[in-house]
Amino acid sequence: MKPLDHLLSIVARLRDPEDGCEWDSRQTYATLPPHTIEEAYEVEDAVQRKDYGDLKEELGDLLFQIVFYCQLASEDARFNFNDVVLSISKKMVSRHPHVFNRKKTSDGSANDGAWESIKHQERSRKLEVNCKEKPSALDGVATTLPALSRALKLQKRASMMGFDWPNITPVLEKIIEEINEVEEVLSDNLGAERLTDEIGDVLFACTNLARYCNIDPETALRAANRKFERRFRHVEGLIEANWSSSEPPSLEEMEAFWKQAKSETI
C-alpha cells in the first residue's frame, strides 16, 4: 500500500464507529480547527528553529489534520481527499499562467500582481454563484486569522486598489500620530474602551510599516517574543548566580541585568 493510501486507511479506521478510537469518532468540523491551527504554528516554529527532523514530524501532523477533514467530508458524501487534490491542482495551474501557459512576465512583481488579480476574479465568481452582495477587494480575508496577519492581508488588498502611502515617511508619521493619541487618552483618562481603540490603531499602523518594508509582522513579533524569552531567562540565571539578598532586585538592578543579558545573548 502506498504511504498516502495507508494514512487514509488509518484515519478511516480511527473513525470507525465500532472498532475505531472513541476520541477520533467524537471529532467534528467544529472541533478540529483549534488543533489544525496549533499544528500549523508548530510547523512554523520548526522552520524558525531550523529543526528539519522536527519539521518532518510537524508536517505529518498537519497532513493528518487535512486527511481528517477529508474523512469527515467523505462520510457526509461531500468530497474526499482526491477531490481536494484535484481542486488545488486546478487552482495552481489557473493561478500560474506565466508557467503553464508560457506567458512569461518580466519580473516577480508582475507575477505577484497577476496572482492577486486571478484570486480576485475567483472571489468575484464565488460571490456571483452564491448570490451575495457586490464583491469587495477585502472579500475572503478570514476573520479567524491572527489579528496581525489579518491586518496585513487587509492592507495588501487595499493597496491593490491604490489605497496606500506614496512613501515610508507618512507611514512613520502615522505611527507617531497614533502614539500621540494614546497619550491623549491616558492623560485625559478617557477610559479603557477608548484606550483599546487607540492602541489597536497603533498596532495597525505598525503592521502597515512592516508591510511597507516587506516584513511579515506575525513573523517579526514571534521572533521578538523568542528574543525576549531568551534574554529574560538569561536575566533569571544572572540573578540566581549573582544576587544574594533576600529582597528581590529593584527595577534599576533588573535593568542592569537586562543590559548584561542583551550583551551576552543574541
pLDDT score recorded for residue 116 = 62
pLDDT tens profile 46-83: 998 899 999 999 999 999 999 999 999 999 999 999 99
Helices 168-188 and 192-212: angle between axes, nearest 10 degrees: 170
Place of cell 528539519: 52
Domain 147-215 has CATH 1.10.287.1080: yes
Q: Are 11 and 67 in contact (CB under 8 A)?
A: yes
Place of cell 512569461: 104
**pLDDT tens digit at each of 266 positions of the chain:** 799 999 999 999 999 999 999 999 999 999 999 899 889 989 988 998 899 999 999 999 999 999 999 999 999 999 999 999 999 999 899 888 888 886 555 555 545 556 566 666 666 666 565 555 677 888 878 888 889 999 999 999 999 889 999 999 999 999 999 999 999 999 999 999 999 999 999 999 999 999 999 999 988 998 899 999 999 999 999 999 998 888 889 999 999 999 999 999 87
- The dihedrals phi and psi of 128, each to the nearest 5 degrees, come to -65, -40
d(CA 256, CA 74): 60
- Do residues 207 and 201 lie in contact, with contact meaning Cβ atoms separated by under 8 Å? no
Three-state DSSP class for residue 216: coil
Q: Amino acid identity of 51? A: D
Would you identify the CATH topology of the domain 3-95? Helix Hairpins (1.10.287)
- Three cell numbers at 26? 467524537
CA proximity to 176, closest of 200, 206, 147: 206
Q: In angstroms, rounded to a whole number, what is the distance separating the alpha carbons of residues 161 and 185? A: 33
Residue 245: predicted pLDDT: 87
How high is the pLDDT of residue 102?
A: 67
Give the pLDDT score at 74. Answer: 97
- 3-state DSSP call for residue 224? helix
**Is 133 in a helix, a strand, or coil?**
coil
* Helices vs strands, H then E, count in the chain: 12, 0
What gap in Å lies between CA 109 and CA 100, rounded to an integer? 18
Q: Give which of 174, 138, 141 is closest to 158, Cα–Cα.
A: 138
